[in-house]
Amino acid sequence: MGTKHSGSPGDVWLRPPARAAREAPPLSRDRIVDEAIALLDEEGADRLTMRRLAERLGTGSTTLYWHVKTKNDVLDLTLDAIFAAVEIPRADSQDWRAGITALISGWRAVLLEHPWSAALLGRPMLGPHVLARSEFLYATLLDAGATEPHLTAAAYSLSNYVIGSALMQATWTAGEEQATRAAAQDYFRANRDRYPVLATHGPLAEDSDWETSFTFGLTWLLDGIQATISASSAGGAANGPSTKAASHARQ
């Protein structure tokens, strides 16, 4: 506990790195992260152990702890690293929808390409890659004319929608879950009396098209954002969400 890692109980990103990492020793954070991604891609989330990771790197498992404080750090670094692959569109205030659509689609693509990432979404994402893309999202919406509270609401909706969508799809398309999916659909049909609609429709049907469904939802959100933006910029005060949606609150 007496190492340089002492100090703030914050997130990896908020802590200064263990070492400025000027030169690259044989083992480095980057190599660890790269190998972790490879391992996760090949074997899945539950197969990632410090020992196995070290073995693949040709080192002892203990060594990893010099470069990284905990396994959680590895996961945080790994999760952020994959988002480097999401290209940040060029800012274009003429067509903000195109930029946002590209960003969100890329975001989704990365999550689906690394299905293990879905299980990690429940942790603070404060890595530089994620933040840069969040910044772009907010900046683009701001540039498009969104003002509070619509700005936050728009960014919130879009990012949470991708996250939820990717999480669900990854849940059901992970190799081993394919059998579960089929079994579930059979189960619906066998209990057609209890689940009449699910028996014939639903995201688990064989012919369900995740991509199309995703695009519909994204379009609806963008339509709503666009309408709200122009309404509030054209006319009067920003009125809250119009419908009686807020009428329900338990507890």
Query: What residues make contact with DNA under the rule CB under 7 A?
Result: 1-2, 5, 7-8, 18-19, 23, 25-27, 47-52, 58-63, 65-67, 69-72
Q: Least Å distance between CB 85 and DNA?
A: 25
Under the binding rule (CB under 8 A), the answer on residue 114 touching a copy of itself is no
Closer residue to DNA, CB minimum distance, 48 or 82:
48
Contact 39, 52 (CB under 8 A): yes
Residue 157 near residue 225, CB atoms below 8 Å? yes
219 binds, among a copy of itself, DNA, none (CB under 5 to 8 A by kind): a copy of itself
Shortest distance in whole angstroms from residue 6 CB to a copy of itself: 16
Nearer to a copy of itself, 61 or 134 (CB): 134
Q: Which DSSP category does 134 fall into?
A: H
The Cβ of residue 189 has, within 10 Å, a number of other Cβ atoms equal to: 12
Only segment of 22-30, 31-39, 58-66, 226-234 that touches a copy of itself (CB under 8 A): 226-234
CB proximity list for 77: less than 8 A, separation 6 or greater: 12, 29, 32, 33, 36, 68, 127
Size of the site for a copy of itself (CB under 8 A): 102
Please, which residue, 49 or 213, has the CB nearer to a copy of itself?
213
Which CB, 20 or 197, lies closer to DNA?
20
Interface with a copy of itself includes 224 (CB under 8 A)? yes
Residue in 47, 51, 123, 192 binding a copy of itself, rule: CB under 8 A: 123
**Nearest to 83, CA basis, from 174, 170, 163:** 163
Task: Decide if residue 90 touches a copy of itself (CB under 8 A).
Answer: no
| 28, burial (CB in 10 Å: exposed 0-12, middle 13-18, buried 19+) | middle
Q: Which does 59 bind (CB under 5 to 8 A by kind): DNA, a copy of itself, none?
A: DNA
Single out the segment in contact with a copy of itself by CB under 8 A; choices: 19-27, 49-57, 75-83, 130-138.
130-138
Q: What are the start-end ranges of the H helices in 44-191? A: 50-57, 61-67, 71-82, 96-113, 128-143, 150-173, 177-190
- The CB-of-35 to a copy of itself minimum distance in angstroms stands at 22
User: How many angstroms separate the CA atoms of 15 and 76, rounded?
Assistant: 13
Q: Which residues contact 165 (CB under 8 A, 6 or more apart)?
A: 108, 210, 214, 217
Of 43 and 223, CB closest to DNA: 43
